[in-house]
Amino acid sequence: MLASAQTSWFILRTCISERLTYRADFAFATLVRFLPIVTQVFLWSAVYAGNETQRLNGYTYRNMVAYALLVMVGRAFSSMPGLAAGIARDVRDGTIKKYLTQPVDMLAYLFWARVAHKLVYYVVATGPFVLVFYLCRGYFEQTPDLITIAAFAYALALAFLIGFLMECLIGFISFWFLEVSSLIFIFMMINYFLSGHMVPLDWLPGLFQRWPAVQEIARQTMTCLPFQYLAYVPASILLGKLQGHDLAWQLAVGTGWVVLLLAANRLVFNRGVRRYSAFGG
């Protein structure tokens, strides 16, 4: 166990130094990711037409900007650029052999590589994040209490794990179909809507207003899907929209998803390798 922790630490370290070879490109990409928040502020101020007290689906203008900012934080944990595509490339060009002949577990390896990726990102992004949040502090209505902050931190960890496991799962599908880029695209589209990246998730059932039964089903379904943990859940925790029993329930369901996705990854990986091995590696 200890030896394996040390191996993980080494994988982590090696991945960090690899990430750092492209630091200039990386720093630039990080800064570019802050641009959308400016457009978000403008967009929502246009939608609310400067009316500070108006509420849309329960969100004031300031709530909306705060939501957009928190979604950005959630996605800093849950988005996994290049993960699925990278796995597909490894399968296609044979790099996957490395994981099958060396005494390593591919999923663990990918996990530590991604942790390294994120850590380097946070080092670069923390400064800008702090600055943006400081400038936008006026949009937040109350200071969160300790329980909320703890729940938020837990939700961010879930965001990372669920994001990671879902992308890996898609990557492993390349054992069956070498080309998964359109699948990745569809996944990103679904993700955009169902994670609450586009608008808060509790707005979506409103689309089915005319059919109350459908609306209820949509609402129920959405609170069970894993996508919401990638952005909506952490954001609504910090905004104080999820509390008490509901909060505990959401976090429990999220934990359940981690376990389920982990099991699914193991299964799909083993099946995939078996298929790969049958077809010629």
Partner 1 sequence: MIAVDVRNLCKTYRVFRKQEGLWPSIKGLFHREHQPVHAVAGVSFQIERGEMVAFLGPNGAGKTTTLKLLAGLIYPTSGVATVLGYVPWQREIAYRRRFALVMGQKNQLWWDLPAQESFRLHKEIYRIDPTDFERRLDELTTLLEVKKLVGQPVRELSLGERMRMELIAALLHRPDVLLLDEPTIGLDVVSQRKVQDFLKQYQQEQRLTVLLTSHYMKDVQALCQRAIIINEGEIKHDGPLAQIVDRFSKFKVIELQFAGESLPGELDRFGEVFDVSFPRAKIRVPRNQVPEILSALLSAFPLEDVGVHDRPLEEAIAEMFTSTRATAPEPAAAVIP
Ligand X SMILES: Nc1ncnc2c1ncn2[C@@H]1O[C@H](COP(=O)(O)OP(=O)(O)O)[C@@H](O)[C@H]1O
DSSP-derived 3-state class of residue 56: strand
Question: Which residue number, 99 or 203, has a Cβ lying nearer to ligand X?
Answer: 99
Question: Which residue number, 134 or 279, has a Cβ lying nearer to ligand X?
Answer: 279
Residues within window 43-72 making contact with ligand X, judged by CB under 6 A: none
In 3D space, the residue among 72, 52, 73, 74 whose CA is nearest the CA of residue 63 turns out to be 52
Q: Is 60 in the site for partner 1 (CB under 8 A)?
A: no
Residue 276 C-beta: closest distance to ligand X, Å = 9
DSSP-derived 3-state class of residue 247: helix
Measured CA to CA, the distance from residue 62 to residue 69 in angstroms comes to: 11
Q: Is 280 in the site for ligand X (CB under 6 A)?
A: yes
CA pseudo-torsion sign 109, 112, 114, 116: negative
Cβ-closest residue to ligand X? 280
Q: Is 94 in the site for ligand X (CB under 6 A)?
A: no
Residue 257 C-beta: closest distance to ligand X, Å = 36
Question: Which residue number, 35 or 278, has a Cβ lying nearer to partner 1?
Answer: 278
CA distances from 18 to 15, 99, 115, 120, 228 (A): 5, 18, 13, 10, 32
Q: In the 8-state DSSP scheme, what is residue 236?
A: H
Question: Which residue number, 11 or 238, has a Cβ lying nearer to partner 1?
Answer: 11
Residues within window 204-223 making contact with ligand X, judged by CB under 6 A: none
Q: Is 278 in the site for partner 1 (CB under 8 A)?
A: yes
Residue 94, contacted partner among ligand X, partner 1, none, CB below 5-8 A by kind: partner 1
Q: Is 2 in the site for partner 1 (CB under 8 A)?
A: no
Q: Which of 23, 55, 92, 97 binds partner 1 (CB under 8 A)?
A: 97
Give the CA dihedral 125, 129, 159, 120, nearest 10 degrees: 10
Q: Is 182 in the site for partner 1 (CB under 8 A)?
A: no
